[in-house]
């Protein structure tokens, strides 16, 4: 039966393949008691297993660093920390000594206690770390029970497939072969999970947070998944399968063709010049952005440098990361967004408070201003990177003028501490417009900011009161809803009035229909995901800004997102040399 299940799109890309379910947990640990004379030997066995697990994790960290990069390798730091946790060790040893339990049983009981404590939390960071905890549990238990590790063995099968599991641990993710794993689908996890970070680095599409509906996906069945939207099509129909293959073949041919024209400017058919920049999560992606012809970086999500880290990266480390991106774009803008932590992205070194509503909580600029040492470090590293190239800082989730003023004060203090020769290299400061407050008070913010970047992902959730990660609300979470397009129009007008440089870095700019809408509304600067960059540039070269302006003129009266999309879709299909096949392929990607 053809049906659709919604999850959270966590690693972009579409995949079609046979489902391979993996069950890798050790559910039953045999109950074994020991005599008092065996206690010390059992404690030693536990210590050995711990030391062995730590060695494995360290090796995995080194391997991952070599294969994917230093930031990806750091994912395993938190596991090393958990293995050495004094409470975990003391608790296990107490079970062995006081209850005469075998090392494996004692360890499992202790892990159960920790898990129950974590499960009680609704905090996304804590829930994310459950996968790390499971990783350690399996590793230590396998050693104690003398079993081979099931996880890594099961993950890479003999035929390419879409991997489906309740959860994927970072160890499984790090060992995946992208040739064999077409995609990953899990019941748990979030965009900030360690496993997701690794999947993205490997270029494997992922949909997470599917919840109980995961059981609808049968082993061996055919699945069509979209790692951007989070949509899962179970048992797709023959026309859907055919559509996927057509789009994939088309995309491959186009990618080849686009590579050849990547140096050409991105102008519409009526000669309107646009700027198409790249959204980056990690520094090494800058090189690919250059290859794809990006006009600089419109959004570098710096928080991915710290998610899952157990210590704050120092100024020097951050400087090197920012410098790497700036050096890739010596003549173009690099927009460094200051840490957007909170919501669904957390570093371990911060003990984030448990919040009922993390997206409305202690997040982004609010965290940074409350932790001046963290913020100052980052800003100093950015100011130093400005010596090398054209870096500017972008503040996330701004809702008050004070947030910008206070950031500027910190920057001024930093300038004062610099050597006199370096003084005067002022860095441009911009704000993400992603709260209704920022749209509403742009005139108040304008005197304090140099540029503005529209964040449609968060603005949509705050305007529609629909959590961006909640699959049940996917229909309501529509960045093309009339409420949103009216705000986009207003923002464009207000920025022009205040002569503010305006760009869009939300996902809407990576969507063919979305970028067409924005072009029609007068937007000229876009920052898009790497996966979408070639197609978006090609689309812009094939449309007329004047035509799109006419198409969009009447849209303010539309009653729904569907009514907004319909005439734009029709226009794209009507473009000569840009036929319906191409438009359909684009909207399918």
Positions that interact with ligand PEP (CB under 6 A): 299, 301, 340, 434, 455-458, 505-506
CB of 208 to ligand PEP, least distance (A): 15
Of 22-30, 269-277, 458-466, 548-556, the window that binds Mg ion (rule: CB under 5 A) is 458-466
Nearer to ligand PEP, 337 or 537 (CB): 337
Interface mask toward Mg ion for 399-438; x: CB under 5 A: -----------------------------------x----
Nearer to Mg ion, 303 or 538 (CB): 303
With CB under 5 A as the contact rule, the residue among 175, 183, 455, 479 that binds Mg ion is 455
Contacts of 253 (CB under 8 A, 6+ apart): none
Contact at 8 Å (CB) between 14 and 241?
A: no
**What is the SS3 string spanning 105-147?**
HHHHHHHHHHHHHHHCCCCHHHHHHHHHHHHHHHHHHHHHHCC
Is 505 among the catalytic positions? yes
Minimal CB distance residue for Mg ion: 458
Long-range contacts of 569-572 (CB under 8 A, 24+ apart): 569/513, 571/516, 571/543, 571/547, 572/512, 572/513, 572/516, 572/539, 572/543
Nearer to Mg ion, 230 or 534 (CB): 230
Q: Which of 258, 297, 313, 252 is nearest to 77 (CA)?
A: 313
Contact at 8 Å (CB) between 191 and 308?
A: no
CB of 365 to Mg ion, least distance (A): 11
State the binding partner of 407 from ligand PEP, Mg ion, none, CB within 5 to 8 A by kind: none
CB of 419 to ligand PEP, least distance (A): 34
With CB under 5 A as the contact rule, the residue among 458, 478, 507, 511 that binds Mg ion is 458
CB of 299 to ligand PEP, least distance (A): 6
Long-range contacts of 555-560 (CB under 8 A, 24+ apart): 555/482, 555/485, 555/517, 556/482, 556/485, 556/486, 556/489, 558/482, 558/485, 559/482, 560/481, 560/482
State the binding partner of 456 from ligand PEP, Mg ion, none, CB within 5 to 8 A by kind: ligand PEP
Nearer to ligand PEP, 165 or 368 (CB): 368
How many binding residues for Mg ion (CB under 5 A)? 3
Look up tokens 């965290």; give the residue. Answer: 367
Nearer to ligand PEP, 108 or 434 (CB): 434
Contacts of 20 (CB under 8 A, 6+ apart): 157, 161, 162, 163, 164, 219
Helix axes 561-574, 512-520, angle to 10 degrees: 90
Q: How far apart are CA 499 and CA 496, in angstroms?
A: 5
Q: Which of the following is catalytic: 368, 495, 505, 552?
A: 505
Joined together, the tokens standing for residue 110 give 């202790």
CB of 517 to Mg ion, least distance (A): 19
Burial of 473 (0-12, 13-18, 19+ CB in 10 A): middle
Nearer to Mg ion, 188 or 479 (CB): 479
Is 250 among the catalytic positions? no
State the binding partner of 366 from Mg ion, ligand PEP, none, CB within 5 to 8 A by kind: none
CB of 11 to ligand PEP, least distance (A): 14
CB of 176 to ligand PEP, least distance (A): 25
CB of 433 to Mg ion, least distance (A): 10
Nearer to Mg ion, 236 or 455 (CB): 455
Q: Which of the following is catalytic: 142, 143, 166, 194?
A: 194
Whole-number Cα distances in Å, 378 to 73, 129, 406 = 21, 25, 15
**SS3 of residue 411 by DSSP:** helix
Q: How far apart are CA 358 and CA 463, in angstroms?
A: 16
Contact at 8 Å (CB) between 29 and 95?
A: no
Of 115-123, 134-142, 448-456, 514-522, the window that binds Mg ion (rule: CB under 5 A) is 448-456
Of 17-25, 235-243, 451-459, 557-565, the window that binds Mg ion (rule: CB under 5 A) is 451-459
Pairing between strand 8-11 and 525-529? unpaired
Can residue 108 be called a binding residue for Mg ion (CB under 5 A)?
no
State the binding partner of 505 from Mg ion, ligand PEP, none, CB within 5 to 8 A by kind: ligand PEP
Can residue 243 be called a binding residue for Mg ion (CB under 5 A)?
no
Q: How far apart are CA 42 and CA 39, in angstroms?
A: 5
CA 110 to chain centre: 32
Q: How far apart are CA 350 and CA 364, in angstroms?
A: 13
State the binding partner of 506 from Mg ion, ligand PEP, none, CB within 5 to 8 A by kind: ligand PEP
Nearer to Mg ion, 209 or 506 (CB): 506
Contact positions vs Mg ion (CB under 5 A)? 434, 455, 458
Q: Which residues are known to be catalytic? A: 194, 505
């Amino acid at each position: 039966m053809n049906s659709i299940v919604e999850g959270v799109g966590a690693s972009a890309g579409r995949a079609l393949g046979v489902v391979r379910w993996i069950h890798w947990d050790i559910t039953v640990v045999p109950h074994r008691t020991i005599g008092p004379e065996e206690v010390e030997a059992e404690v030693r066995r536990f210590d050995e297993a711990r030391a062995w697990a730590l060695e494995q994790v360290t090796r995995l960290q080194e391997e991952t660093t070599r294969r994917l990069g230093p930031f990806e390798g750091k994912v395993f730091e938190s596991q090393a920390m958990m293995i050495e946790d004094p409470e975990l060790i003391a608790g296990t040893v107490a079970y062995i000594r006081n209850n005469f339990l075998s090392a494996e049983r004692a360890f499992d009981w202790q892990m159960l206690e920790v898990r129950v404590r974590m499960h009680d939390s609704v905090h996304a960071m804590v829930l994310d770390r459950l996968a790390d905890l499971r990783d350690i549990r399996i590793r230590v238990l396998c050693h104690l029970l003398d079993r081979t590790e099931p996880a890594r063995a099961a993950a890479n099968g003999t035929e390419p497939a879409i991997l489906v599991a309740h959860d994927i641990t970072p160890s499984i993710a790090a060992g995946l072969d992208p040739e064999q794993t077409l995609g990953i689908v899990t019941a748990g996890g979030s965009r900030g999970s360690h496993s997701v970070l690794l999947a993205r680095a490997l270029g494997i599409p992922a949909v997470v947070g599917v919840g109980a509906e995961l059981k609808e996906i049968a082993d061996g069945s055919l699945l069509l998944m979209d790692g951007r939207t989070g949509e899962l099509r179970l048992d797709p129909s023959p026309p859907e399968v055919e559509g996927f293959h057509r789009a994939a073949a088309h995309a491959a041919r186009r990618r080849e063709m686009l590579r050849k024209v990547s140096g050409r400017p991105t102008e519409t058919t009526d000669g309107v010049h646009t700027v198409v920049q790249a959204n980056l999560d990690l520094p090494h992606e800058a090189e690919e952005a250059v290859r794809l012809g990006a006009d600089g970086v419109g959004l570098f999500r710096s928080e991915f440098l710290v998610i899952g880290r157990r210590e704050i990266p120092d100024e020097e480390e951050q400087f090197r990361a920012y410098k790497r991106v700036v050096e890739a774009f010596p003549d173009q803008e690099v927009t460094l967004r200051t840490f957007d932590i909170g919501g669904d992205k957390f570093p371990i070194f911060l003990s984030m408070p448990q919040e009922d509503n993390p997206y409305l909580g202690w997040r982004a600029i609010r965290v940074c201003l409350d932790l001046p040492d963290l913020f100052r470090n980052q800003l100093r590293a950015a100011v130093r990177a400005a010596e090398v190239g054209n870096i500017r800082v972008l503040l996330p989730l701004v809702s008050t003028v004070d947030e910008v003023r206070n950031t500027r004060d910190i920057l001024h203090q930093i300038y004062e501490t610099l050597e006199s020769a370096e003084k005067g290299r002022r860095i441009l400061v911009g704000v993400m417009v992603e709260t209704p407050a920022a749209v509403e008070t742009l005139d108040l913010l304008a005197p304090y900011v140099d540029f503005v970047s529209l964040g449609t992902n968060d603005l949509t959730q705050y305007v529609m009161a629909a959590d961006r990660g909640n699959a049940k609300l996917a229909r309501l979470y529509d960045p093309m809803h009339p409420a949103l397009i009216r705000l986009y129009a207003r923002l464009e007008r207000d920025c022009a009035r205040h002569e503010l440089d305006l760009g869009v870095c939300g996902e809407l700019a990576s969507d063919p229909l979305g970028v067409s809408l924005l072009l029609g509304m007068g937007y000229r600067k876009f920052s898009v995901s790497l996966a979408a960059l070639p197609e978006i540039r090609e689309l812009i070269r094939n449309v007329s800004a004047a035509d799109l302006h006419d198409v969009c003129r009447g849209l303010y009266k539309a009653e729904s997102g569907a009514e907004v999309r319909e005439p734009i879709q029709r226009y794209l299909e009507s473009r000569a040399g840009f036929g319906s096949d191409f438009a359909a392929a684009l909207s399918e990607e």
